[in-house]
Structure formats: structure tokens, C-alpha cells
Chains A and B, each alone.
Chain A
Amino acid sequence: MNLLELLGYFNYWVFAIVLSVGLYTVIAKVNLVKKLIGLSIFQSAVFLMYITMDKVEGGTAPIIQKGVENQVFSNPLPQVLILTAIVVGVSTLALGLAIVVRIYEAYGTIEEDEILDAD
């Protein structure tokens, strides 16, 4: 097993671990801001998975220089998808934080259990 192969598996494992850490934060924490932080880690992990599959051995970023022959390029498509997904993630986060601010104003707390008790 050469080093690149190891890195390949390592990338996916890191993806799995970070994904799990993010999801765990979302499920187990009761603080709403912490949940959102977990959500953003959770989404970042998926970005890592997509970008991992775009790599080609010996490739460069897909910017085609004229006059250079026999270049190998990494795959542009996952990059485009993840550009979109990053922006989607930040939008969701902003909206979530706006809701959290309103919850704090209405309830005086951002802990989920205390909010449930208040109603």
C-alpha cells in the first residue's frame, strides 16, 4: 500500500469521523448555537468527501494553460458542486442564527430544555 492509497482511505475516514462528530453535536447538545456549530461541521465533512473524489494522481487545479501539453487535471465538477454547497451551508447557518437570536429575545435562554420548560 503506497502512501497515496493510505491517504485515500485516510481522507474517507476523516470524513466519517468529522461527520460523526458533527452529527453527535447536533443530537446530543442542547445549546442551540452549539447545535448550529455542529451542523456546520457536519456539512463541512460532506464537502471533504466530494473534494476527495476530485483528485487525480499527478493532476493540477483545472485551469488549462495554453501551450502546455499533456497536463493532467483534477475533476472540476465536484468543485462546482461544493462551491454551491458551501454557500448553501452559510445561508442555512445565517437563518438559523437569526432564529436563535429571536428565541433568546422571546425566552431569555438558548438551552433547548429550558425553552421546552417555558412553554
Chain B
Amino acid sequence: MIIIFALFLLSLLVITALAIVRTENLFVAVMLTSIFSLLMAANFFILDAADVALTEAAVGAGITTVIFLSALALTAQREKVVTAGRRPALVVVAVLATLIIYATFDKPRLGDPDAPVHQHLAPWYLENTPELMDFPNVVTAVLGSFRGYDTLGEVFVVFAACIGVLFILGVKPPAGSRYNPDSSGLRHHLIPQVVGRLLIPFIVLFGLYVQFHGEYGPGGGFQAGALIASGVILYALLEGEAAALRAVPQSVLMGLVVGGACLYGGVGLLCILLGGNFLEYSVLLSDPVSGQQLGILLIEAGVGMAVCGALLSIFHAFAARPMRS
């Protein structure tokens, strides 16, 4: 039953992708991209990747769409139709697709328990996580500790994007640009405002739940950061940019980003000082298992802070920018 559903979802995915290419209205394309991400998240869920599905839904379908829309508001809404250059693109793409489909015939079939990926590293993780960390979510264990260095890198990717957007949009907009504070926000619309005010606390609460429940269920710092950020973004959409910046000022956001990144790195350095390797949380406490738990809790907090602050900074950088007249 679920397989038929998966086939259906995958077909929808292809159709959505084709529709995105064909539409000339960028606004429509962005909304379709959001749907595409949501379908992708559903597919991930069917394939047992709950954490990834949550992230794709929060980041791909949520935050990405908002950033796209705020960028579209600053540029143009329609694309020009150009037909030149289609043929070489088609050739490149056809070669690529053939190559990949050629490669698939030797791939292990879906769900094959004897596939190499299920034989080598994964059993070790599944076997040792309960013993070494004593919590159920193996994804969090791999993310936070076994491959914690990747996650550190990931935090710094987000950090790079944040300072990059601030740096690139830090240039004064061209003369004649003006920012109309009334144009943003749905202040005059009673219904969205009332519902939004009702929901925002629960969104933030849910974000905190996801943050601190990551060891036990799907979730963790990234998802939590994205969820909390989306709560604040909703506030900004309802009450206007200025109100959102009053509630959570830019300096606080920068503090979150810098603090989160430094918290993560600081935990790693502390491990060196206590005689372990970088990010070896076992040395944090006398009991290695609680050391691991404490370490993962701290770094997940760092990740959540950094991601939330960075996504909000990026959003504000776009949304508060005056429009070229």
C-alpha cells in the first residue's frame, strides 16, 4: 500500500519539477518549489528518514520559500522567454541521465538488507549507540558525536552564508531606492493577525521541544533553529519588519550566531584541554556516557542558536532592504 503511495509521490515530484521549468512566472515557480520540497519531505518520511523529512519540511519548504519570496520582491517577477541555448543543454542533460541510469543497473535494489551500506558502518552505529550514549535516536548520535566534526562544519557553512548575505547586502542600495514600512506586514488584516498571534507561541514552543527532544525522537538543533526562526518570521510578516526587529534586534541575532558557533567550538576545545581529542565529549564528565550526553546537548544548543540567528539575519537582510525604484 505504502509503495503505491510512494510511486504516486515520486511521479508527482517529477511533474512538479517539470512544471517549475515550464512556468515563466517566477512567483509561481517559487511556490511550486515549496510544494516540491514538501513532496520530497513526504518521500523521505516513507523511506524512514524522519529527521531529514522534518528538516526538509522546515528548511526546504519553509525558510527557503520565504527567502526566495523576499528576494523576488526586490527584483522581478517574470522571466524573459529565451529559446537559444536549449539544444546543448539538452545534450548535456541527456548524457548525464543516461550515465546515471546505466549506473543504476548494478546498484543494490531498494531495501536490500545485504547492500554494502547496511553491512559496514551502520550496524556499528546501531549497536553501539545505546551503550555509548544511552539514548534512542541514532541519527542524533551520529550527527552530534560520531560525525560531530561534519556538523561543526555545517554550522560554519550557515555562518558563512549569514555573514556573506550581510556583507553583500551591506552595501547601500542605489540612490532613489525607498523602503515603505507600511507595505510589509499584514497589520490591517484582523484574521491572520489574530490567528498568527495565537500560533506564534506554540511554534516557538514546538521548536524548543524539537531542540531538547532530539535525543529521543526526530529533531535536533537544525530543525529547532529553523522552526523558531519561522515563528519570528511569521511575526515579522504579521506586524512588520520594524516590530520584529524591535522584538529580536539584529545585535541579539548576531549574538546568537557568534555565541552558537563559539559554544560548539568551545566544547570541542574544552575536550582538548581535558585531555581528549577535539570533540571527544567522553572526557567532559567522569562518566563517559553522561559526558557524551552533556556534549551532545551543548552542541545541539549551539547548533540551534547559530541556525536560528543566521536564518533570521538572512531574512531581515532581504526583507528590510529598500526597493530599487
Q: Do chains A and B touch in the complex (CB under 8 A)?
A: yes
* Closest-CB distance, A90 to chain B (whole angstroms): 5
> Main secondary structure on chain B at its contact with chain A?
helix
- Contacts of A110 on B, CB cut-off 8 Å? 75-76
- Contacts of B101 on A, CB cut-off 8 Å? 12-13, 16
Q: Is the CB of B217 within 8 A of A63?
A: yes
Q: Is the CB of A61 within 8 A of B14?
A: no
Bound form: Cα–Cα A106–B30 in Å: 23
Q: Is the CB of A66 within 8 A of B136?
A: yes
How many residues does chain A have at the interface if contact means C-beta atoms less than 8 Å apart? 91
Of residues 35 to 66 in A, which have CB atoms within 8 Å of B's CB atoms?
37-38, 40-41, 44, 47-48, 51-66
Q: Is the CB of A44 within 8 A of B36?
A: yes
Q: Is the CB of A84 within 8 A of B129?
A: no
When each residue 65-108 of chain B gets 1 if its CB lies under 8 Å from chain A and 0 otherwise, what string results? 00110011011100110100110111011101100110010011
Q: Does B190 sit at the interface, judged by CB under 8 A?
A: no
* Closest-CB distance, A47 to chain B (whole angstroms): 7
Q: Does B137 sit at the interface, judged by CB under 8 A?
A: yes
- Contacts of A15 on B, CB cut-off 8 Å? 100
Give the residue of A21, A74, A111 whose beta carbon is less than 8 angstroms from that of B17.
A21
Q: Is the CB of A91 within 8 A of B158?
A: yes
Bound form: Cα–Cα A57–B2 in Å: 13
Of chain A, the residue at the smallest CB distance from B23 is: A34
Q: Does B160 sit at the interface, judged by CB under 8 A?
A: yes
Give the residue of B36, B82, B126, B129 whose beta carbon is less than 8 angstroms from that of A41.
B36
Known contacts A10-B7, A87-B307: does B169 contact A25 (CB below 8 Å)?
A: no
Give the residue of B82, B138, B307 whose beta carbon is less than 8 angstroms from that of A76.
B138
Give how many A-B residue pairs fall within 8 Å (CB-CB): 308
Give the residue of A22, A34, A51, A57 whose beta carbon is less than 8 angstroms from that of B111.
A57
Bound form: Cα–Cα A74–B37 in Å: 22
Q: Is the CB of B49 within 8 A of A74?
A: yes
Q: Is the CB of A17 within 8 A of B97?
A: yes
Q: Is the CB of B117 within 8 A of A86?
A: no
Q: Does A95 sit at the interface, judged by CB under 8 A?
A: yes
Q: Can you give 12 contacting A-B residue pairs, CB < 8 Å?
A: A4-B3, A14-B11, A20-B93, A51-B44, A52-B47, A53-B115, A74-B48, A75-B117, A83-B52, A83-B222, A90-B60, A98-B165
Binding site for A on B (CB under 8 A): 3-4, 6-7, 10-11, 13-14, 17-18, 20-21, 26, 29-30, 33, 36-37, 40, 43-44, 47-52, 55-56, 59-60, 63-64, 67-68, 71-72, 74-76, 79-80, 82, 85-86, 88-90, 92-94, 96-97, 100-101, 104, 107-113, 115, 117-118, 121-122, 125-126, 129-130, 136-139, 141-143, 147, 150-151, 153-154, 157-158, 160-161, 164-165, 168-169, 171, 173-174, 177, 216-218, 222, 307, 314, 317-318, 321, 324
Given contacts A17-B17, A94-B314, 8 further A-B contacts (CB under 8 A): A18-B17, A48-B43, A53-B108, A61-B48, A62-B126, A75-B122, A76-B125, A77-B122
The 3 closest A-B pairs by CB, nearest first: A8-B110, A91-B161, A31-B79
Binding site for B on A (CB under 8 A): 3-25, 27-31, 33-34, 37-38, 40-41, 44, 47-48, 51-66, 72-84, 86-95, 97-102, 104-106, 108-111, 113-114
